[in-house]
Structure 1
């Protein structure tokens, strides 16, 4: 009786098995998580606006997403920007396309290479605005960022009580920029996602950013963010003025 040879794997079959066997993080990589968190705490606390870096970063984001670069408009603060947006329903939002183009490509690279339980650990502990709650290690990803966005919408609705906040386009990055720490961490340990640097540069250099066809609206970072003893936001200061007052 003839002995059958074992089936020969094609390269595609071999690679598919390798990708299914996603690796754990090495101890040195786990030990790097607090350093990544500290880096992003520093970014979030930095009140410096770099207009040239912000404009270069947003132009590069447009190009990465295959969109023609737009005219850039700086406004004094996010409330001023939102009032402009309310009066410009004709603007075509491309921010979501830019975000998805960058973040989806980063997610794919990470998920192909890193075991899911380790991805979850990095999301929870590299982000200075995330909280791990309870015995089940449920993660509240960015309570502070969500709270700040609600405050801004509340302030806008004082002047525009009939406003449907769901009609306001999303920013590319705003007070929730801390989620970038997740991608940035994996980029720093060697996952090939250089495109995330575009959003990191944007986060470092400005406050809010709305991207549309033909126009981009940017705001500087606030000069101060203040909370009361109950942890409630009481001040977003621009040019010496608390825009929440």
Structure 2
């Protein structure tokens, strides 16, 4: 597809979350997402920013079109995909949470997205780690607002699996915040017990949490990981 100068200006305008968007520009964006993986990077970058705009969010995250968008992203979220495509696709999904239509789309496809995070973090580039952790945290916040015991258990399971593989302190911190949020917000005793057991039964994770909690590092990034780990350990023992 050849992009005209007017279309290009429209795409750039979509990156402003306060701009009024023409439907034709959204149509162009959807068509460009079909570009081959090796050249789609700038399109993903525009889409990542554009989805913060409520008009765009509604246009590309609602109904069948939203399902189609997730289908496009599947091509870029493979373990063999270029790191840049993985990172931008995850950031795009994270930014969907800016508006309700995007939230609904992510929750609808949470099974696929959570399983994808497990596949992508064995470990991976730090920017992919941070994007994956942000998605987990955004899901935790979404479930805090609208509880869903099954979704919360699934998210804790994914966070518990991914956390020991993370090497970036910021990604570790965001995942720990997500775990703490999910544990704190669960007020159903049976479901909370399942969350706690999920964390405790994850190989190496309880020991890792204890080690991080006891860290005496004065570096800010490591210190906040230590502090958050201590809080998660306390929640597990409540």
Alignment TM-score, normalising by the size of structure 2: 0.19
| Bigger radius of gyration among the two | 1
Alignment TM-score, normalising by the size of structure 1: 0.19
The structure whose RCO (Cα within 8 Å, separation 6+) is larger is: 1
